[in-house]
Amino acid sequence: MTRLHWKSRLVQRRLAAISLLLTVVLGCSKHTKDQPSNRVVKLAFVTNTASEFWKIAAAGIHKYEKEARVQVDIKMPLNGTPEEQNQILQNLAAQGYDAIATSVVAPDDQVSVLNKVATQLKLTTFDSDAPKSKRLLYIGTNNYEGGRALGEQIVQLLPTGGKIAVFVGNFSANNAAQRLKGIEDAVAGHQVEIVDKREDNVDRAKARSNVEDMINAHPDLKLCVGLWSYNGPAIAAAIEGVGKQGKVLAAVFDEEEGTLAGIERGSIQVTVVQKPFQFGYLSAKWMNELATQGSAAMARIPKSASIDTGVEVISKANVADFERRLTELKRSAQ
């Protein structure tokens, strides 16, 4: 082999080595952008408060965790304030989480915090949306339609109209505002009058005392409406406590045990249930895929940037069947 030929072969090998190195580096760069890495992704599901309702969502999360072999940290603000939730979201972002799903307490007031968090990770919402923020996707109930469904039930319960009162933790929450709007539109023209609306700021004792105060203040009150999950049990306890069972009716949201028991006892006439199991399962799935698949997952987000999980109306006629199905869902996640 001539010296010139040997140098030529050496140059070719070095060029090949450089080409391989560039391929690896560029490939890793693309992998980092679209699929962060093979490391364990950090995912978090942040509720708007601590409630029995979220245990059902947790069952959906656990089902997906088993299927995908991932872990989702569940965070529940104890006091249900925007400030408390903001702090949780900011802490998670600072800790390097890849994706967060949250039920926003006060959407209009939290936009700046949500947008900042969205620049650091993949942000989605569930249950209570923040459509003005840079969240990528909302998963949950169309709360306006859910409110209309409950309003239609109220019209049936009060065929000649009557006075009603509405109770919730915070009316500033997107889900509360949309549900109330749906109810108002559904009862319009049916001589149903909303005489008062009360917030309890996620204070369970106040949730009950608000109902008792309203019943005492309005002897002709016909029906109580509960917009958040724990309002149902609070309304049932208050109605029973003041001896108004059957005289003051109740139409509420969600499937807490106290609500379903209230339906069985006749203290609550109807509840519009969401699909919290799906909230948890789909939120976990989308968080994981957005964190690990990058642009491929982004391309699958619906044009509406929302997934409606639907509602179901539960009364004494179907409460037993619903409880059976709910038990089966919970077992599937164990």
pLDDT category at 16 given cuts 50, 70, 90 is low
Tell me if 322 sits within 8 A of 273, measured CB to CB: yes
- On average, the pLDDT of the chain sits at 90
pLDDT one-digit tens code per residue, 172-206: 898 999 999 999 999 999 999 999 999 999 999 99
Domains of the chain with CATH codes: 43-140+276-309 (3.40.50.2300), 143-273 (3.40.50.2300)
Rounded Cα gap, residues 250 and 180, in angstroms: 15
Question: What residues have CB less than 8 Å from 222, skipping those under 6 apart?
Answer: 158, 162, 163, 164, 248, 249
Buried b (16+ CB within 10 A) or exposed e, 287-318: bbbbbbebeebeeeeeeeebbebebebbeeee
- Residue 51: what pLDDT? 86
The per-residue pLDDT for 330 is 80
Give the phi and the psi of residue 252 in degrees, each rounded to 5: -135, -175
Q: Are 287 and 124 in contact (CB under 8 A)?
A: yes
Per-residue model confidence as pLDDT tens digits over 262-319: 999 999 999 999 999 999 999 999 999 999 999 999 999 999 999 999 999 999 999 9
**Residue 72 forms beta bridges with which residues?**
43
pLDDT, residue 12, reads 57
Alpha helices in 141-275 (DSSP H): 143-157, 174-187, 204-217, 231-241, 257-265
Taking residues 68-75, report their average pLDDT.
97
d(CA 264, CA 332): 25
Residue that is written with structure tokens 């997952």 in the block: 297
For residue 9, name the pLDDT band (cuts at 50, 70, 90). low
Confidence band of 331 (pLDDT split at 50, 70, 90): confident
Q: Map tokens 């909230």 to a residue.
A: 279
Lowest mean pLDDT among 30-39, 139-148, 260-269, 283-292: 30-39
The pLDDT of residue 13: 59
| Lowest model confidence (mean pLDDT) among 21-25, 254-258, 267-271, 319-323 | 21-25
pLDDT given at position 23: 44
Report pLDDT digits (tens) over 218-245.
Answer: 999 999 999 999 999 999 999 999 999 9
Answer whether 88's CB lies under 8 Å from 46's CB. Answer: yes
Whether residue 169 is predicted with pLDDT greater than 50 in this model: the reply is yes
Res 52: pLDDT = 85
How much is the average pLDDT of 99-106?
Answer: 96
Does the structure show a pLDDT above 90 at 19?
Answer: no
Contacts 24+ apart (CB under 8 A), 256-260: 256/51, 256/52, 256/53, 256/229, 256/230, 256/232, 257/52, 257/233, 258/52, 258/230, 258/232, 258/233, 259/229, 259/232, 259/233, 260/314, 260/319, 260/322, 260/323
Above pLDDT 90, what percent of the chain?
82
The whole-number pLDDT of residue 329 equals 82
